[in-house]
Structure formats: structure tokens, C-alpha cells
Structure 1
Amino acid sequence: MPRYNSIKAGELTDTSYYILLCLTKKKHGYLIMQTIKNLTDNQLSIGPASMYTTIKKLLDADLIELSVENGSKKKTYVATMKGIELLKKEVERRKAMVEHAEKILNHYEEI
């Protein structure tokens, strides 16, 4: 049975969400990992294997693009407009999830 591909379904895993969020500006692999650690106050750490597997999926879905600078061996990545639009939709989806949880948990506290 094939694995569920959340990106094809229009949803982002936490890893793909943070990688795409970091790529609103061009970054290379190591800087992506460091940015995620800093952004999440070291609560989320993504290793190279997981990161590059996710980057490949994001590239295949045209959510990010590879940018090789002249004379540099470093590969940098940046979000495409399609990626930015999906990121915006994902933020709204996650906001709704939090609102649902707050409603339920607020009701739970009243009991």
C-alpha cells in the first residue's frame, strides 16, 4: 500500500511546513536546519536525511525551486509562488485546528 503523500493532498507535514516557511528567502541546506532550530527555540531539529527527502518532495511538487549561484557549489532553495500560496492555506488550516481545540478544551474546563 503506497504511503500517504500529504503534499499531493495539499497539506504540509510539520517538517515540510517549516522548510517551506524558511524558504521565503533563498537558503542552503545547513542554513535551513539552523533557521528551523532558531525559529522553534530548539524544539524542532530536522536532520539532513529528513530535510533532503522533504526538499525532494517539495521540488517535485513545484513548491520550491533550486537555485545554483554562479561559481558556488552550494545549492540554495527558494519557495515558488505556488509554495507560498500553499503555505498561506496551511496557516489558515492550522489556525482552524487550534480554534477547534480551544473550543473543546474550554468546554472541558467548564465541566
Structure 2
Amino acid sequence: MAREKFQTLTEQMFYILLCLRQECCGTDIMARVSALTKGRESVGPGTLYNLLESFVQVGYIIETKVEGRKRSYLITEAGQKALEDEYRRLRTLAADYEAQAGGANA
């Protein structure tokens, strides 16, 4: 059921799950995504908290602690599998491109 909703991940989804391989809160996730991508990708608070809620609902992450308004999260086995599946999908796309383009830079 959840696999249909998240059959493929957006870049923001991918980076959020990647960051949550270590426990962190929302503000830490936003900073880590920006640092990891050298500013190429960013996640705003509205998008982030909607995705975190969706990820909790489908079991990709769990809420690990609450300190006032600050909530921390961590990826689950199901979330790790989704992240790995997306990584393999992206590698397959890149391999298909390289095979078709003959290694030429377009």
C-alpha cells in the first residue's frame, strides 16, 4: 500500500530519508540537506513537516523524542529499504543513459 504512494521519491524525500539514517529534528534535517547538496536542494518547513508526517504514517520513520515543540526522528527498516530502492532506480537510470549516450557528455 505505502509502496504505491511512494513508488519513487522526490529529491527532497530522498534527502530527508538519507539524513534520518541518524536521529535528528526538523531544523537539523533542513540544515543537513542544504549542506549535503551544497545548497542545490533545500526543504522548507511546510514541505518538511508534511513529508515527516506522511513518512511516520507509512512507517518509513519513527518519532524518537519530543522536547517541547522539537521532535526528533529516525529512519526505520521500511524507510531504509525505500531509500535503497530509490538509489538502485537512480543508478539504473544513469546506466541506461550512459549506454544510450555511449559515454558522451551531452
TM bin (shorter chain): 0.7 to 0.9
CA RMSD of the aligned region, Å? 1.9
State the TM-score, normalized to the length of structure 2. 0.86
In 1, the alpha carbon distance for the partners of 2:34 and 2:62 equals 22
Runs of 4+ that moved beyond 3 A = none
In 2, the alpha carbon distance for the partners of 1:49 and 1:13 equals 15
- Alpha-carbon distance, 1:40 to partner: 0.3
- Alpha-carbon distance, 1:86 to partner: 1.2
In structure 2, the residue matched to 1:96 is 92
Task: Deviation per CA, 1:44-65: give whole Å up to 9, x if none.
Answer: 0111011111111111110001
Structure 1: runs of 5 or more not aligned:
none
Structure 2: runs of 5 or more not aligned:
none
Task: Deviation per CA, 1:18-59: give whole Å up to 9, x if none.
Answer: 100000011000000000000001100111011111111111
Give the counterpart letter for 2:74 in structure 1: V
How many residue pairs were aligned?
102
The counterpart of 1:54, out of the listed 44, 51, 55, is: 51
